[in-house]
Chains A and B, each alone.
Chain A
């Protein structure tokens, strides 16, 4: 005869949402006496209570038995083994009250780890004699599945009563009694001890896993807020940043973004190189060392012109718009960049003393770049005028005859061709800037070139700082 006795100690249970629990008690008569009672109930626990559940035993115990396992599940999730030896138990009726507050779901499905898993470890006692039973009383706040308490099979579920997340305190004692004879007593003793230990281990592991998962979530959240702040700051600097997660990016969108990123990297590297140059100049380094650094900086300028060439193919209008520069720099934008003639005008005063020849060279250079800039500007004006003419000739678009449609298509095709030449203009403008820098370097001595590069960088630096100040200014 088997009696399953379990009591529930403790009352507070946290909110339980949408969980079902199945409480299944199987009993089997050991000696054929009495009737077997198979009781199964599905209870939907949403704060409702069910009436006490009564399982009566059948027949009397006329054998001595041993309480094999009493699993006492307290809030500390410790398993206590309770052994009661050699007691006779008269027919017992079992009361299970307030089951409504115990959401348990016993199913054979896989246990899922939720953020607050509560599963009940259940003990199965097997004995050589027909067997026993087990009651699983589990609490589950999410929808973790529980092992199904099917008859005659192992029933085990993990109990994870994690203290800090558990707003309630629950105790469950399960006492399984089997009428085992003394000779198999030891064997099952050891088995159950082992199983207890395994269960403890499993519970501990799942607690650790949960902890690790929560920590991961926390750190990702921190990272996310950090990234958002950076993005905000970068936006403030007027750098064009498109919104993230936009699936509809066109090819040109990607070209623009990519160039912006490359330009940002280029600026960082240039800052580093300029600092190195400044340190070398202040420490009166040798000409050889200076020349090395200066050559490096000029090569770095070559790099940005190369990148701009690539970007001009991908998205010429992005370069022309100057959105990749800060607002104050954009003010002085000419054909997608700075005006060489302006830079040279700034330098002349700062580069003194210059030899007669050098002065003439710099003046000529300034004049040449001015002339080239004018020529390119005139070409751009001609392009604009030509484009306007192309789009404005012909019949109005509203008239629908096929001849007009053909005209319209022809117009568009011509206009497309003209837009294509924009890339050539940006390329020549960059070519002009590059040539001007190199010619300047040829005219000046190494030391003068170093000072010139520092002056150019400082000028643009101040423009960028001005942009930041402007963007951050208090507005009414």
Chain B
């Protein structure tokens, strides 16, 4: 849990993924399209991966990946990201966190 929080605060946009997860790939692509350069942490390649996944689930993230943090705060999984993107909120969040500028 701490590790998750720790990593999440290190950059404006942080995404926790798994290398095998294709939906994570989609969300990453969306962020790149928006001009953000999120920090990507693959849980299956992290020594604490299992605990981190457990912590993410505890936060209510289902499925556990992709898990998106903007400005250190937990935003949600793919469903939340798409919803926020459609109504324009995602862009605003990114701008507020200085992940993007326009």
List chain A positions with a Cβ less than 8 A from chain B. Answer: 364-365, 368-369, 371-372, 374-376, 378-380, 382-383, 386, 417-418, 421, 424-425, 427-428, 431-432, 435-436, 439, 442
**Contacts A375-B26, A432-B86, A436-B86 known; 19 new A-B pairs at CB < 8 A:** A364-B88, A371-B33, A378-B25, A378-B26, A379-B23, A379-B26, A382-B22, A382-B26, A383-B22, A386-B22, A417-B20, A421-B22, A421-B23, A424-B23, A428-B82, A431-B83, A435-B86, A439-B86, A442-B87
Contact of A421 (CB < 8 Å), options: B21, B33, B79: B21
* B22, A379: Cβ atoms closer than 8 Å: yes
Q: A368-B85, A435-B87 in contact; A428/B29 too (CB < 8 A)?
A: no
A115 to chain B, nearest CB (A): 64
* A372, B85: Cβ atoms closer than 8 Å: yes
- What 8 A-B pairs come out closest when comparing CB atoms? A379-B26, A375-B30, A435-B86, A383-B22, A382-B25, A375-B29, A375-B26, A378-B29
Q: 12 pairs across A/B with beta carbons < 8 Å? A: A365-B86, A371-B30, A371-B34, A374-B33, A376-B26, A380-B22, A417-B20, A428-B79, A431-B79, A432-B86, A435-B86, A439-B87
As a 0/1 sequence over residues 10 to 50 of chain B, the CB contacts with chain A under 8 angstroms (1 = contact) are 00000000001111011101100110000000000000000
List chain B positions with a Cβ less than 8 A from chain A. Answer: 20-23, 25-27, 29-30, 33-34, 63, 78-79, 82-83, 85-88
Complex CA–CA separation, A365 to B85 (angstroms): 9
Chain B interface, DSSP helix/strand/loop, else mixed: helix
B100 to chain A, nearest CB (A): 13
Q: Which residues of chain B come closer than 8 Å to A364, judged between CB atoms?
A: 88
Complex CA–CA separation, A431 to B23 (angstroms): 14
* B33, A375: Cβ atoms closer than 8 Å: yes
* B22, A368: Cβ atoms closer than 8 Å: no
Q: Which residues of chain A come closer than 8 Å to B22, judged between CB atoms?
A: 379-380, 382-383, 386, 418, 421, 425
Q: A375-B33, A378-B25 in contact; A431/B82 too (CB < 8 A)?
A: yes
Q: Which residues of chain A come closer than 8 Å to B33, judged between CB atoms?
A: 371, 374-375
Complex CA–CA separation, A383 to B86 (angstroms): 24
Q: Which residues of chain A come closer than 8 Å to B25, judged between CB atoms?
A: 378-379, 382
Q: Which residues of chain B come closer than 8 Å to A382, judged between CB atoms?
A: 22, 25-26
A396 to chain B, nearest CB (A): 24
* B27, A435: Cβ atoms closer than 8 Å: no
Contact of B82 (CB < 8 Å), options: A374, A378, A432, A442: A432
